[in-house]
Structure 1
Amino acid sequence: MGDVYQALADATRRLILDELSERDGQSLFELCSRLAMRHGVASSRQAISQHIAVLEDAGLVRSHRSGRTKIHHLHTEPLGDIVARWVRPEETS
């Protein structure tokens, strides 16, 4: 679970998750464009790719190839462990 916390600690990675939450199944180019236009993130594609790799290692993003393009999807299952750790059952109703 430590990888999830580490992945969420970075603001750019949280923005990537926000973008995938809003529009799942994006390529690196699409994510870079949305981050630049909507959030003013001026990171290189290589830097964003490294952020995505951290998110993949934490299990928060899953990716697959479609031809020459790698498509990224939000995977929220690891967040369930965080919720289960601190949220009481009566708070989820």
Structure 2
Amino acid sequence: MEYVAYLVDARFLVGNQAVDAVGATEERREELIRARNERRRIAAQLTTSRAALARPGSLQQNMSRHQESALIGLGGQILVLLKLLLGSVMLLCALSVLLLMKK
């Protein structure tokens, strides 16, 4: 706004140009205010979510290191089982193709 006022005072902007510049400046200011309010709303939601997780009795505080490592190990074992299952299916497909080719 100050820069637009300077341009109008120095007569770089006159008539409709001055009105357009002031209008555009006001619209931009309103956009910035809306964006700032949206950022504040999101920050407040984040703070609320973090506070809920930090409450006693929440999953984050009740899980021990041992439980975390057990869950990670379980994920690795599931991956191995999935690979074995995929290999078995591929082997069955190959045997089926060979059986069909013999006939």
| TM-score bracket for this pair, using the shorter chain length | under 0.3
Rg larger for: 2
TM-score (norm 2): 0.22
Higher helix content, 1 or 2: 2
Higher strand content, 1 or 2: 1
TM-score (norm 1): 0.23
Work out which structure has the larger RCO, using CA pairs closer than 8 Å and 6 or more positions apart in sequence.
Answer: 1
